[in-house]
């Protein structure tokens, strides 16, 4: 009976042949050092001696870098066994390789560094790897495409190699964008672009209101170089003084009299439209003083040392001729200079009124100098006349009031209005007697009686 082999070619002879073939291949591979499986030549460019070799081409055993599938180590572990400085750097997130690991924990050395591409091929090839360029201090946010629309490559900025950078490449590209601006910017701030620019922002469109010092009012239209003098680095920009006086000291018309806190009175909107709160000073502005222009008191822009006493300014207005001293505020107030209040109790010596008070015009020299006969020190008016009078002040219906006969002031008088002394009656009676000067009654009726000697009522 013919029985078929269920294992096919997997016979004893087949197993032996396969074993011999595999043994020969492995032995040949070991004899060649694994080179028979190499995808290409290793980089032969000499560098720093690490692990006894100066280039990868000097490594003869594949297992120096590559691990077998059954080994616990990964290829990255073999890399770091030699490149110990990189291993240390990966533990520091502030350094390049540490920041890469933090951002992409699955990143492997071969993502950026590849070999077996020839003796002179570069070991660094970023390819499509998302390289965290901002960790080097310069973001690529604003550097994605060239002016002509082509994608920006590493070589556009790193013309020699990736470890060097020439700022001339900045000038070359940006001159193509705006030659006039690029030249002016270079003259103002120098050629060290990275000292100020980090690639995050487009500095020619810089929003100053996003920082602590906002541009308002008159500051809005200033050129950068008017405030940022001799500024060539980001540190220089950040250390620019933000107080007003640093820039406006030469404009200080007060000559330092009000200190250096300009913002206490001025605003960026209008330098001249100042709002000084005088009430915060030792001399508060009250009453009429609020309407006085600054220069009336602060002559020649002198502020410190300006006298605060009344007499220094009002000496020429002193109608007392210095008789009451220089303490004007004892009687006067800033609200009303003329409405003064004098406390006579402060005068200790017996003094006649006329020694201080000139005779009023209203008296017309009629009442002498004994002011106290009618007036009191409590109030000048109303006055009560108690002195001698040519015409009897209690004549007829008179009650001693000056107003009865002197309604229009003490220098004139009238008899009209008493009894039947109307102007028409008086005129008629006196014309009958041939008297034409009937308006001057007292010339004939000095005692208030008729010439016949009887009462005139």
pLDDT tens for each residue of 216-262:
888 988 888 888 887 777 778 888 999 999 988 888 887 777 788 88
pLDDT score of 166: 78
Residues 6+ apart with CB under 8 A from 39: 116
Which among 267, 224, 273, 275 has a CA at the least distance from the CA of 248? 267
Q: Which of 130, 159, 183 is the last residue of a domain?
A: 183
Examine residue 358 and say whether the peptide bond preceding it is cis (omega within 30 degrees of 0): no
Q: Which of 150, 183, 216 is the last residue of a domain?
A: 183
- Domain shared by 134 and 148, yes or no: no
- Domain shared by 89 and 158, yes or no: no
Asked if residue 66 belongs to a domain, the reply is yes
Number of domains the chain is built from: 2
- Domain shared by 125 and 156, yes or no: no
Give the residue-averaged pLDDT of 355-373: 78
* Residue 195 burial by Cβ neighbours in a 10 Å radius (0-12, 13-18, 19+): middle
Q: By the 8 A CB rule, do 274 and 266 touch?
A: yes
Q: Residue 379's pLDDT band (boundaries 50, 70, 90)?
A: confident
pLDDT score of 27: 60
Residues 6+ apart with CB under 8 A from 404: 397, 398
- Domain shared by 84 and 171, yes or no: no
Residue 333 three-state SS: strand
- Domain shared by 122 and 156, yes or no: no
Residues 6+ apart with CB under 8 A from 73: 67
In the chain, % of residues over pLDDT 70: 88
pLDDT score of 452: 45
- Report the C-alpha gap between 243 and 175 in whole angstroms: 35
pLDDT score of 8: 55
- Report the C-alpha gap between 366 and 372 in whole angstroms: 15
Rg of the Cα atoms in the chain = 56
**Token output for 389:** 């009078």
Q: Phi then psi for 449, rounded to 5 degrees? A: -115, 160
Residue-averaged pLDDT of the chain = 80
Asked if residue 447 belongs to a domain, the reply is no
Segment 286-331, tens digit of pLDDT? 888 988 888 888 888 777 788 989 998 888 888 887 877 888 888 8
**Alpha helix stretches (DSSP H) within 224-301:** 224-227, 234-238, 244-248, 294-297
Which among 207, 277, 208 has a CA at the least distance from the CA of 240? 208
Reply yes or no on whether the pLDDT at 457 is more than 60.
no
- Domain shared by 81 and 40, yes or no: yes
- Domain shared by 130 and 159, yes or no: no
Which among 82, 154, 85 has a CA at the least distance from the CA of 125? 154
Write out the residue range of the structural domain in which residue 58 sits.
24-138
- Domain shared by 178 and 95, yes or no: no
Residues β-bridged to residue 53: 50
DSSP code of residue 328: G
Segment 206-216, tens digit of pLDDT? 778 878 888 98
Segment 317-329, tens digit of pLDDT? 888 878 778 888 8
Asked if residue 451 belongs to a domain, the reply is no
């Amino acid at each position: 009976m013919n029985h078929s082999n269920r294992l096919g070619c997997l016979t004893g002879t087949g197993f032996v042949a396969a074993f011999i073939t595999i043994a020969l291949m492995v032995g040949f591979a070991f004899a060649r050092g694994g080179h028979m499986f190499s995808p290409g030549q290793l980089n032969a460019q000499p560098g720093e001696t690490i692990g006894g070799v100066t280039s990868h081409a000097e490594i003869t055993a594949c297992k120096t870098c590559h691990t077998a599938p059954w080994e616990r180590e990964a290829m990255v572990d073999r890399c770091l066994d030699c490149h110990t400085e990189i291993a240390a750097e990966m533990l520091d997130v502030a350094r390049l390789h540490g920041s890469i690991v933090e951002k992409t924990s699955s990143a492997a050395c071969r993502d950026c560094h590849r070999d077996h591409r020839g003796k002179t091929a570069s070991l660094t090839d970023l390819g499509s790897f998302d390289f965290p360029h901002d960790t080097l201090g310069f973001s690529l946010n604003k550097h994605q495409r060239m002016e002509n629309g082509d994608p920006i490559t590493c070589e556009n900025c790193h013309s020699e190699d990736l470890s060097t950078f020439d700022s001339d490449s900045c000038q070359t590209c940006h001159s193509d964008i705006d030659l006039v601006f690029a030249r002016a910017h270079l003259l103002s701030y120098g050629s060290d672009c990275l000292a100020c620019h980090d690639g995050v922002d487009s500095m020619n469109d810089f929003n100053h209101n996003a920082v602590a010092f906002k541009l308002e009012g008159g500051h809005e239209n200033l050129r950068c170089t008017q405030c940022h003098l001799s500024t060539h680095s980001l540190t220089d920009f950040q250390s620019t003084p933000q107080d007003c006086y640093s820039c406006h000291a030469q404009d200080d018309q007060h000559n330092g009299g009000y200190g250096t806190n300009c913002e206490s009175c001025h605003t960026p909107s209008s330098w001249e439209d100042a709002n000084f709160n005088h009430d915060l000073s030792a001399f508060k502005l009250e009453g009429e003083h609020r309407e006085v222009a600054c220069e009336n008191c602060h002559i020649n822009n002198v502020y410190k040392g300006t006298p605060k006493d009344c007499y220094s300014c009002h000496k020429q207005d002193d109608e007392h001729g210095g008789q009451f001293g220089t303490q004007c505020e004892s009687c006067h107030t800033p609200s009303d200079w003329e409405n003064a209040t004098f406390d006579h109790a402060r005068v200790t010596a017996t003094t006649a009124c006329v020694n201080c008070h000139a005779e009023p015009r209203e008296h017309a020299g009629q009442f002498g100098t004994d002011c106290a006969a009618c007036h009191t020190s409590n109030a000048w008016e109303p006055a009560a006349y108690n002195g001698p009078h040519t015409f009897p002040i209690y004549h007829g219906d008179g009650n001693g009031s000056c107003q009865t006969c002197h309604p229009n002031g003490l220098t004139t008088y009238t008899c009209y209005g008493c009894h039947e002394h109307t102007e028409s009656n008086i005129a008629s009676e006196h014309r009958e007697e041939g008297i034409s000067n009937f308006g001057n009654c007292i010339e004939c009726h000095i005692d208030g009686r008729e010439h016949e000697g009887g009462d005139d009522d």
